[in-house]
Amino acid sequence: MPLRAISRSSISFGLVSIPVEVFPATSSKSVHLNLLHAKDDSRIQEKIYCLAENKAVDRSELVHGFQIEKGRYVTFTNEELKKLETSASHEIEILQFIPIAAVDPVYFASAYLIAAGSGAAKAYHLLIAAMTKTERAALAKFVMRGKEHLVLIRPYADGLMLHTMHYADEIRSPKEIDHGPSRSVVASELKLAERLISDLSEDKFQPDQFKDTYREKLLKVAEEKAAGAKVTIPAAPKRGKVIDLMSALKESIKARGKKAAPNESEDESAPEDRSNDRDERRPSSRVRRAHNRRARS
């Protein structure tokens, strides 16, 4: 079944306008589960309930409300919201071109494929060629589904990909969470961690290697239950709490069939720490000479 466009628009920059069609780029494969009444396996129905009148209401009686203070709202009908949306430009207006590496992935939200509109193939492929040669992506604004989105457009395969993006004020600051007390990094631990990263490293991302194992297990168990089989689901394996970081790193490397190098197996401290320890334990030269004179006498 061919994909259906979710929007018809045009990409504009300067005096250039390229008619395009926007399609979803992904398809969720999550298993959808319905809520049932455990007593008789019948589907349940969610009702919209009015607390003030203590009764269920029909969806046609609903309006959208924006709370301006506790218990006080301004309301919008569906018609008002549609008019607000249609009054905005539905062009994909390019604001600037930037290196795609300059955008942190945290800003990306959803992905969409962009196809050339009727009679726009030449301009469409010219834009792709120019963006590919200059190694640039386009930042643009685009109104879709009642919201003005910041979007990034980039060459993808033989076409264009559009990513909706979060605005800066939608990104949470890392300062909002506790990262734990700052600790110095021990050289031997760093070497083992680097070794483990190297062992787990690949030069290329190969998405076909990864599968949704949870979905596969769920579908398998569903088939077995449908066939009347008695199913026992094993408990998830428990991971022990990491007490000794060095031991955990060594065991991780060992589990991958590699042996830690001799110089990586020592629990080294930072050079300055070791020298300080020696200085504290070693008597001074004056004390040693006095001790030797007493021993000779």
Residue 114's closest CA among 95, 148, 140, 89?
A: 140
* pLDDT confidence band for 213 (50 / 70 / 90): confident
Confidence band (pLDDT; 50, 70, 90) for 258? Answer: low
Q: Kindly report the backbone phi and psi dihedral angles of residue 293, in degrees, each rounded to the nearest multiple of 5, phi listed first.
A: -65, -40
Task: Delineate the domains of the chain, giving CATH numbers in brackets.
Answer: 7-27+63-169 (2.40.290.10)
Residue 197 confidence (pLDDT) above 50: yes
Quickly state the pLDDT bin for 283 (edges 50, 70, 90).
Answer: very low
Q: What proportion of the chain, given as a percentage, has pLDDT over 70?
A: 83
> Which band of pLDDT confidence, cut at 50, 70 and 90, is reported for residue 134?
very high
- pLDDT, residue 200, reads 85
b/e per residue 242-256 (b: at least 16 CB within 10 A) = eeeebeebbebbeee
Percent of the chain with pLDDT strictly greater than 90: 42
Lowest mean pLDDT among 148-162, 185-199, 260-274: 260-274
pLDDT of 295 strictly over 70: no
Q: What is the mean pLDDT of residues 182-202?
A: 87
For the segment 12-54, what is each residue's pLDDT rounded down to a tens digit?
Answer: 988 889 999 999 999 888 888 899 999 999 999 888 999 989 9
| pTM (two decimals) | 0.69
How buried is 221 (Cβ within 10 angstroms: 0-12 exposed, 13-18 middle, 19+ buried)?
A: middle
